[in-house]
Structure 1
């Protein structure tokens, strides 16, 4: 038997203006904006929310937008979509490709805003089917991990009611038409680490008079590869990435410093601390072995928290998605190593559900399958992923992505 939330969601989204939503998506994709600079995107969302009857406030936490629709007594449900793009040069060849050099919606946030807009319109038009307060949040600066905290710190929950539950979703690679839920840990923590090796610079013809930080940095990078493989138990999940190594200005100058930038992905505080301790030990040891006259500088920088769904909330949303989209469309592929700042909107332990909407076009997925010879993991690795210059979600997901939010919200209003 189909639940009332699923039946109502199907009714409210039966006549979605999909062509108009696709036009909105193309416009957002053509005009990407970096983290904290989402002025045009925010203005478009704000305009749409106001037209739909929401009380709308702009500029929260920088460029954040919130629309509120009060609709009698009932729970307060928050729907969130992130708005920022990435410093990636687009290579999709799409007719609506980015018009901003070096900036691209390579993570699907343009699709997220489109879904959010469609859901806000549908729920406003169907307000006779639910009771409560709906908060629609356009969040800036997710890619830098700053936007959610900035909105909360700017008085989000002083200006608006604290939600009883929060919902969010993300476009992901995989054959379009699947909805990935995990009733617990679904995304990992991320931690940035910056290292400075202090050597002694000099002329390239007299290396004996220097302490070469480039060579030392190379040893550090190599040795860091053993942190996960030799210091973290096989049952744990962790990733250490050297994202940048930088030193020197000319061929014949031995520099005085080398800079290394790392990113860690972990799923527990214990593993994170173990990795940080290993990094500090390795860096200090290699610098001592090289004869560096100053101790290295190791700075732990920005971080994202783990994303842990409230189990009951996620199961309810997953169940209604299964009813809306049919058998075999909802799956649990477990936690991924990607990271999100969405949990920071759930200040104080508010329950939330976060899920993925697969969005790879069928022809791209099928071509990757042929090349992979039937190996599913190779096929998944072969399609453009988030942050790729070739990332191009299937426009066929526009309507379904609206239905996921509408059905999830209706299920939460029914609690």
Structure 2
């Protein structure tokens, strides 16, 4: 056991003192990915770039892994390296970006514009840090291939598309991922955070991220001239009432000891100021940990939508349409406690105890847990990677404010120390889990 721990420590020293050109290569790769983001279902160039880098590192690479519900093929990448008998470890990153117009002002900022699934032209940005994740994946693959004498078993790197639309992991599993490439004994991933300084990480066991429920609500009324509201059943007024009342699900229905969040991220209705439209469409995201909370939310949304329609006198054939999008709905993420303990031990051994914190559950959601299969058949752990500029983070904390974080237009990871730490951390964990028998 002592020799195994020493092996992890040695790997940490080697990675911590990596040649400048190796680190610079990763930084340049990161900036290339960042400057050329692609939306979910569109990750053609990003996946090809990552696949090429994994091939250069000596892996057997398969592209276009994944099939969506409509039968279209995804841009998933799987890279496998066999190194004798032993466990099989899946390490996952994502490829896709968000429909966000970047406002960081960095010299490698994205100026990309693209069309989303609805045909709207939008700015595109790696506002969730998947560029950090993908580059860390490549760096880890290089490090593990170069140090095969320190581990045994099989590495399976997965570059997953369409995490932001919650259907990328399902697409890869639908394409018989484990039947084709082998079922892993465990799976690990990391996710960047602006709440931690670059150079640090965090990990926890148990429920780590909330499940997500995606709901579309169409409030249907009767249109009329804006000067004759008495002839209408106004869906815009109903939408205002719905937006206010739907928050009472969390504040008055849900047990406050069981956290839940409901947010409305999109509302569309009407085309002209003096025309009362026939309908308003709203897109909701809800987050919760328990099955009871999920039930409260889904039933509450339907009840409130129908209630405001009834109060407005909407006829029976124009009642609201409430749709739960199963393809964009995910269960809560759960870090296997025993595996979390092993991951934390490897992180502490490699980075040092002061650099390894204890994560707390968050209301963000992730589809990584789906790789663990129903019933948590495969242990999975996702740990956090700090990417914030330490000076900026300290200043923000002193002022009682948060730095711009994921899903914002000003999310700005600090590349070099974030990538260096990410590769060191992930490689140390992988080596510990695939340690040679002594």
Q: Normalising to structure 2: TM-score of the pair?
A: 0.90
| 2:399 matches 1:394 | no
CA contact (8 A) 1:193 1:298 kept: yes
Partner of 1:375: none
Equivalent of 2:233 in 198, 206, 211: 211
Cross-structure match for 2:120: none
Deviations 1:104-161 (A, max 9, x none): 1111111101111010001001111111011011111111111111011112112101
Query: Which of residues 197, 207, 229 is equivalent to 2:219?
Result: 197
Q: 1:258-296 deviations in whole A, cap 9, x for unaligned?
A: 112211000111111011111111111111011011221
Whether 2:93 is the aligned partner of 1:81: answer: yes
Alignment equivalent of 2:335, drawn from 292, 309, 313: 309
| 2:166/2:366 contact within 8 Å kept | yes
In structure 2, C-alpha distance between the alignment counterparts of 1:7 and 1:333, rounded to whole Å: 23
Q: Could you tell me which runs of 5 or more consecutive residues in structure 1 were left unpaired when the two chains were aligned.
A: 373-377
Aligned counterpart for 1:22 among listed residues 23, 27, 31: 27
Q: Which residue of 2 aligns with 1:66?
A: 78
Q: Deviations over 1:363-412 (max 9, x none)?
A: 32133134x1xxxxx33xx2010011111111211111001110111111
- Shift in CA distance, 184/143, structure 1 to aligned 2, threshold 3 Å: same
Would you say the 8 A contact 2:359–2:384 is kept in 1? Answer: no
How far did 1:229 drift?
A: 0.8
Give 4+ residue runs of structure 1 displaced > 4 Å after superposition.
none
Corresponding residue for residue 114 of structure 1: 135
Q: Select which of 138, 160, 163 maps to 2:184.
A: 163
Aligned to 2:378: 350
Q: Tell me the secondary structure at the aligned position of residue 37 of structure 1.
A: coil
Q: Which residue of 2 aligns with 1:90?
A: 102
Aligned 8 A contact 1:145 1:340 in 2: yes
Map 1:316-355; keep pairs closer than 5 Å. Answer: 316-348=342-374, 349-355=377-383
Deviation at 1:5, TM superposition (A): 4.5
Consecutive unaligned residues of structure 2, counting only runs of 5 or more, are: 67-73, 114-122
- Give the secondary structure class of the aligned counterpart of 1:285: helix
Once residues 186 and 31 of structure 1 are traced to their aligned partners in structure 2, the CA distance between those partners, rounded to angstroms, is 31
Normalising by structure 1, report the TM-score. 0.95
- Asked whether 1:384 is paired with 2:389, we answer no
Partner of 1:9: 11
Q: Distance in 2 between matches of 1:15 and 1:263?
A: 42
What is the aligned length? 407
Shift of 1:305: 1.9
State the alpha-carbon separation in 2 of the partners of residues 343 and 189 from structure 1. 10
Q: Distance in 2 between matches of 1:369 and 1:272?
A: 34
Deviation at 1:308, TM superposition (A): 0.1
Matched, 1:360 2:388: yes
**Which residue in the other structure is 2:252 paired with?**
230
Counterpart residue number, 1:299: 323
* Change in CA separation of 1:384 and 1:9 when aligned onto 2, cut-off 3 Å: same
Shift of 1:6: 2.2
Work out the CA distance in 1 between the residues paired with 2:228 and 2:108. Answer: 55
> What CA distance in whole angstroms lies between the structure 1 residues aligned with 2:76 and 2:170?
11
Matches of 2:310 and 2:141 in 1, distance apart? 59
Equivalences for 1:267-278 in 2 at 5 Å? 267-278=289-300
- Of 262, 281, 284 in structure 2, the residue corresponding to residue 262 of structure 1 is 284
